[in-house]
Structure 1
């Protein structure tokens, strides 16, 4: 283990940031981005606590006063090893460094620790759609998230929808659940027209509809494909921006079945710095998910000035507000009409 010793007598908050990913790919979406932005914007003024960030991505704390990275020799990119660290090693590290408060940034607190804990819950997709998760992962998340929510001093949800889910599934009193909505990074903004034209030219893009998200079942991409295939003939294309997640084979099968291979662009994972360009270049963003903890692509697209059509499921009406058009996620015909 490598660390710098935090000095001073200020309260010390220990943050589990082991879900930060150092590799390009779909794991840098979603939770990674939320953790990264929280660390980036934590207050660091006089009277604020010291932060110990438990992660093997030590560069996230570089140059930040009052924030120190604590690493481990264990390679926590593996789910099993990450669980072992989380449940057995983290409590020992926290005690050694005099941590006063543990913040578990993703679902689960260390049950062996007696320290005061806060836990962030992004969504309960493993409760709503259990068949879309491997059995062992589903059982672990269900059991440990329930126990963590019951033991934690406070619970952070990222939308009112997620707050209601935690209350409904785990019987946690609503007054113990705080909603902290994700913010939008300042890089998501309208870009100069020449910059956007250059991007389109470099990528060989014409007019296109955009979807941003990991290829996985709850993104509901087959409904988007059906709606897109029913549009009148035109030069409009569909760009699916995001890496392969799991159970994505149906998407490629559907593209072939609808004979729209020449009209659908699979970009794979797109670097963070490139995403604002995709939003700016698109005619509109369509986000048909059946379930989301919040729905960051919706607000990122709107921040870039791009129109949004989203499903009316779970948290997405919160994200879209009055600025987006909504449709029923199982109704491809309604989406086509939009």
Structure 2
């Protein structure tokens, strides 16, 4: 039996992306049958109790330790001092510490460590990050990866990047794919119309069919080329048929203004809708009622929205780069994300080709069923046992 501490900070700070991944895999770990004891650790000034309600599926009595120190102070204590402060002085004594978000704080010599690296976007696409954050990540992540006893990568693509860019031995890396929540599934036909009406009214989408894209407005997500491609889709749309909308759900990120300017320049303001961060409870419905889902990202550590869309039975168009082929398999249309005409053709096919749409809906659901949080938790427990095996523990 071992005491394992998980950094739960991302789950409290982010509703989507890494936050969702951390929440879901933590739920699955706490539900798993294991001899280990778990404690959650939250860094910085996160809202008290956030992420710990029964609605999140976490047991109310799950041990949690929180430090009120700000990120600035933690970075000073951990990454700038010659004799840095071990994390156990804040989180409590532990046999294994799992850093879930790129950086591994200092630990005591006997503590085993696991580090999750979600992607190396800041290395592959340095223009996608704020310069100060880029400098920090490029300094701290390689050192963290080399110091960790074992690394978890979200995809084989990220695992290859860790070896290629940082020289991490493949034997030190385990790829664990994300799962997909059961909420993301098709609805019985009898309930679809009512849900669709409520959704369209809430987000003012009218009655037009729509292509959905989910992701923060930032350069890496490639909204710019998606908007350009959608302009071509509309230009070739048959006269007299109801033209589709492009609905983009996500907050404003680094250099988002370029996308807004392109929409205005192409005169697409009436057909491209930015709805901001959709409520997490609305996401399954947004996927379900989309005519197609487009995710032409330039680089992804995993690409959870693709998996969620497939689980809902929505035809997917995505990129043929980084981890995305691992997720979509043969169930989606994969294109070069820089090729605007090819992207436009793929979106058009996803909207209009009924035979392919039927295939994609069924194939996507089957593929999504192979990605489960339970399986991810089981693989993670194996990683913990492997890391702990370097130092025998009392039963």
The TM-score normalised by the length of structure 2 is: 0.76
1:230 aligned counterpart, secondary structure: helix
1:39 to 1:58, Cα distance in 2 relative to 1, 3 A: farther
Mapped to 2, the partners of 1:187 and 1:135 lie a distance apart of 37
Paired residues for 1:242-257 under 5 Å = 242-257=250-265
Where 1:137 maps in the other structure, the secondary structure is helix
Size of the aligned set, in residue pairs, is 320
1:291 equivalent in structure 2: 299
**In the alignment, what sits opposite 1:133?**
129
User: What pairs with 1:211-290 in structure 2 (closer than 5 Å)?
Assistant: 211-231=213-233, 232-233=236-237, 234-290=242-298
Cα pair distance change 1:39/1:186, threshold 3 Å? same
Q: Which residue of 2 aligns with 1:323?
A: 331
Partner of 2:40: 53
Q: CA deviation at 1:296?
A: 0.6
Higher RCO (CA-CA < 8 Å; seq separation 6+) = 2
Contact 1:51 1:66 in 2 (8 A): no
**Alpha-carbon distance change, 201 to 171 in structure 1, aligned in 2, over 3 angstroms:** closer
Does structure 2 conserve the Cα–Cα contact (< 8 Å) formed by 1:211 and 1:240?
Answer: yes
Which whole-Å deviations, capped at 9, do the CAs of 1:222-250 have from their partners, x for residues lacking one? Answer: 11011100112452110001111111010
* Structural mapping, 1:1-338, within 5 Å: 10-21=1-12, 27-44=14-31, 47-55=34-42, 56=46, 58-61=49-52, 64=59, 67-75=62-70, 79-81=71-73, 83-84=75-76, 88=85, 90-94=87-91, 97-111=92-106, 113-114=108-109, 115-191=111-187, 192-202=191-201, 203-205=203-205, 206-231=208-233, 232-233=236-237, 234-338=242-346
* Conserved? CA contact 1:283–1:306, under 8 Å: yes
Q: TM-score, normalised by structure 1?
A: 0.89
Q: Secondary structure at the match of 2:310?
A: helix
SS of residue in 1 equivalent to 2:23: helix
Task: Give the CA RMSD over aligned residues.
Answer: 2.0
Are the structure 2 counterparts of residues 33 and 280 from structure 1 closer, same or farther at C-alpha, using a change threshold of 3 Å? same
Question: 1:145-172 CA distances to partner (integer Å, 9 max, x unpaired)?
Answer: 1111111111000111011011111101
